[in-house]
Amino acid sequence: MNVLILTDFSQVATNAAKYGIHLFKDMPANFYLFNFDKFDPGEDVVLNSTDNQTEAVENLYKHFKELQSYSTNKEHSFKAVFSEDNLVNATRKFVAEKRIDLIVMGAAGKDSIKNTILGNHTFEIIRKIKCNLLAVPEECLYIMPEKLILPIDYSASYDNGLFKFFEHPGITNNAEITVMEIADNSLARTHHQNPRKLVVDYLKSENVKFVEIDEKYIHNRRLLQDVQKKYDMIVILGKNLNVCERFLDVKCGVCADVTNKLPILVLHG
- Provide the domain limits for residue 60: 2-136
What percentage of the chain carries pLDDT values higher than 70? 78
CATH of the domain at 174: 3.40.50
Mean pLDDT of 33-57: 56
Residue 190: per-residue pLDDT: 54
Count of domains for the chain: 2
pLDDT in tens, 153-173: 877 777 777 788 887 776 666
Residue 74: per-residue pLDDT: 93
**pLDDT band at residue 185 under the 50/70/90 scheme:** low
Does some domain include residue 267?
Answer: no
| Domain finish residue from 89, 111, 136 | 136
Q: Are 23 and 52 in contact (CB under 8 A)?
A: no
Is there a single domain that holds both residue 122 and residue 246?
no
Q: What is the mean pLDDT of the chain?
A: 79
Is there a single domain that holds both residue 123 and residue 159?
no
| Domain finish residue from 86, 117, 136 | 136
Is there a single domain that holds both residue 73 and residue 21?
yes
Is there a single domain that holds both residue 112 and residue 80?
yes
In terms of DSSP bridges, do strands 264-267 and 133-136 run parallel, antiparallel, or are they unpaired? antiparallel
pLDDT in tens, 172-184: 667 889 998 887 6
Does the structure show a pLDDT above 70 at 252? no
Is there a single domain that holds both residue 75 and residue 184?
no
Instruction: Indicate yes or no: pTM above 0.75.
Output: yes
Does the structure show a pLDDT above 60 at 108? yes
Does the structure show a pLDDT above 90 at 102? yes
**pLDDT band at residue 44 under the 50/70/90 scheme:** very low
**pLDDT band at residue 2 under the 50/70/90 scheme:** very high
| Domain finish residue from 116, 136, 156 | 136
Residue 92: per-residue pLDDT: 93
Top pLDDT among 73 and 222 is at 73
Give the C-alpha separation, 38 to 88, whole Å.
10
Top pLDDT among 6 and 154 is at 6
**DSSP states of the chain:** -EEEEE--S-HHHHHHHHHHHHHTTTS-EEEEEEEEEE-STTS--PPPPHHHHHHHHHHHHHHHHHHHHH---TTEEEEEEEEEEEHHHHHHHHHHHHT-SEEEEES--TTSPTT-SS-HHHHHHHHH--S-EEEE-TTPPP----EEEEEE-S-S---GGGGGGGGSTTTSTT-EEEEEEE--HHHHHT-SS-HHHHHHHHHT-S-EEEEEE-GGGTT-HHHHHHHHHH-SEEEEETT-HHHHHHHH-TTTS---SS---S-EEEE--
Give the C-alpha separation, 173 to 231, whole Å.
15
Residue 41: per-residue pLDDT: 36
CATH of the domain at 128: 3.40.50.620
Give the C-alpha separation, 115 to 261, whole Å.
10
Q: CA 264 → CA 27, 98, 245, distances in Å?
A: 21, 23, 14
In terms of DSSP bridges, do strands 147-152 and 233-237 run parallel, antiparallel, or are they unpaired? parallel
Torsion sign across C-alpha atoms 159, 165, 169, 174: negative
**pLDDT band at residue 127 under the 50/70/90 scheme:** confident
Residue 223: per-residue pLDDT: 80
Does some domain include residue 218?
Answer: yes
What percentage of the chain carries pLDDT values higher than 90? 26
Mean pLDDT of 68-91: 88
Torsion sign across C-alpha atoms 174, 199, 107, 36: positive
Give the C-alpha separation, 106 to 195, whole Å.
32
Does the structure show a pLDDT above 60 at 39? no
Does the structure show a pLDDT above 90 at 138? no
Residue 1: per-residue pLDDT: 92
Residue 232: per-residue pLDDT: 94
Q: Are 227 and 264 in contact (CB under 8 A)?
A: no
Looking at 28-42, 46-60, 65-79, which range is the least confident one? 46-60
